[in-house]
Amino acid sequence: MIIRKLNKDEHPPFELLLSADPSLEAVEKYVERGESFVAEQGGEVIGVYVLLPTRPHTVELVNVAVSEGQQGKGFGKQLVMHAIREAGKEGYQTIEIGTGNSSIGQLALYQKCGFRVVGVDADFFIRHYSEEIFENGIQCRDMIRLSQDL
């Protein structure tokens, strides 16, 4: 697998991006304002992430996704570790990520990659999404905020 920056003239892998965030409006904004990276294997895009500058010296890792047939093989962890290295190379001091309270696998993955929980944005998903979201039998209501120093 190779991970590379997506050129500005290339079409972003929207289907994959939307598997990490069902809001097309949000995804379009992230892609426009951030830097997208894709993971390719055998000429096919199997993964994606976006680095979104937020505050001075801080970048947020958004829309990490691996295509369904390729999940559980370590690619997600490779993408997150790549994003952390890339953010450091680009001179950022802090990398942040947010995920739902019901996203148990993601919370495990991010903590395995060195992120620490730093806060909770209560009822974020109730305020920002019109549809109710359920995962692992849990309603997704709160955004768990995680961060790590670079």
Residue least distant from ligand COA (Cβ):
76
Q: Which residue's CB is nearer to ligand COA, number 108 or number 118?
A: 108
Q: Residue 51 interacts with ligand COA (CB under 6 A)?
A: no
Smallest separation (angstroms) from ligand COA to the CB of 108 = 3
Please say whether the beta carbons of 140 and 90 come within 8 A.
no
Return the closest-CA partner of residue 58 out of 98, 88, 30: 88
Six token digits for residue 1: 């697998």
> Considering only CA atoms, which of 19, 28, 74 is closest in space to residue 48?
19
Distance, in Å, from the CA atom of 119 to the CA atom of 85, rounded to the nearest integer, reads 23
- State in angstroms the smallest separation of the CB of 90 from ligand COA: 21
CA 1 to chain CA centroid, Å, is 18
Query: Using CB under 6 A, which of the segments 23-31, 62-70, 84-92, 120-128 binds ligand COA?
Result: 62-70
Distances in Å between the Cα of 23 and the Cα atoms of 7, 27, 29, 55, 142 are 23, 6, 10, 22, 16
Q: How far is the CB of 111 from ligand COA (least distance, A)?
A: 9
Q: Of the ranges 33-41, 50-58, 68-76, 137-145, which one interacts with ligand COA (CB under 6 A)? A: 68-76
Residues 9-38, interacting with ligand COA (CB under 6 A): 19-20
From 77, 17, 75, 25, select the one nearest 50 (Cα to Cα): 17
Residues binding ligand COA: number (CB under 6 A): 20
- 72 near ligand COA, judged by CB under 6 A: yes
Of 4 and 73, CB closest to ligand COA: 73
**Residues in touch with ligand COA (CB under 6 A):** 19-20, 64-66, 71-77, 99, 103-106, 108-109, 112
